[in-house]
Amino acid sequence: MSNWDLMMPGMGLTAIGLAGVVISYSGLAHTFIDGMHALTGLTMMIGLIFLATGILDGGISTSNRAKATMLVVLSIVLAFGMAGFLFNTISTTGVFAGILIAITFPAVIMAYVATKKPQYTKSLGAIFAMAAAAGIVSYMAFGLVGPDTYLIPEEVPEEIPEPEPEPFTGNIVTATILNGSDIQGNPDYLPDELVVSVGSGIEWFNEDLVAHTVSSMDDVGATFDSGLINAGDTYFLDTTPLAVGEYTYFCIVHPWMQSIFTIQDAQVMPDETITDETPEVEG
């Protein structure tokens, strides 16, 4: 004879847990996919424990009808589980199945004890305590193995702030991008030919109303390139890495704008003059 006092809460918990598992794995609630499937799965298993205990209270039925019913239920469950493994891409399906299997064994043992030794499992509190203990032990056991890596938040490396560049202490030569230089034929860069010493810096100020660039012409900006210099902005070029020589630069946006700057060595003191005269030796 089944015990409805156990079957009713068992059916309720099983239904609630099953609904949560279906919702979390069906993609309807992506927010809860990391926690909802575990919580509702445990609720479903606790409900099944209550349900199995209530059904088996009074003995296991050995009739052909009971055997046929059990065969149908097992076939549906196994087919559903096999389809779930084959036709989904969720990485935690295997872990979830392992948890269910780990909980199933103590559930079967509890159901058997409730049937054969009902004096130990009469109160609902005892059944709930055993089910909770089984869930905690299973959780701790799987915790030793470790969850999927996607459940563990990635460690964000501490960002080391880049040191601020030291202020330029060399000589700075100024140049100007003239107003109206976007019109072909108008004066563009001032001065048109600029001479600086090694290690100097050049700063261009854009007086025009449109954006321009200061880009090396021979390699189309590979040696130096300011990017767009908006109206009223400046571009600073440290010539220290550049070799001594002449550099033609232009505006990529307005290629008729061209100019030159030359890098020269700093003045070097002249060497002492060496003569070929041999001092006379007194005889």
CA trace torsion 235, 240, 243, 246 (10° rounding): 40
pLDDT at 28 over 80: no
- Return the structure tokens found at 140: 């701790």
Contact 187, 255 (CB under 8 A): no
pLDDT at 98 over 50: yes
**pLDDT recorded at residue 122:** 63
Q: What is the pLDDT of residues 138-189, one digit of tens each?
A: 666 665 655 455 445 567 778 888 887 778 778 889 999 999 898 888 889 9
pLDDT at 24 over 80: no
**What is the pTM assigned to this prediction?**
0.40
Distance CA 60, CA 2 (A): 10
Q: What is the pLDDT of residues 37-48, one digit of tens each?
A: 777 778 888 888
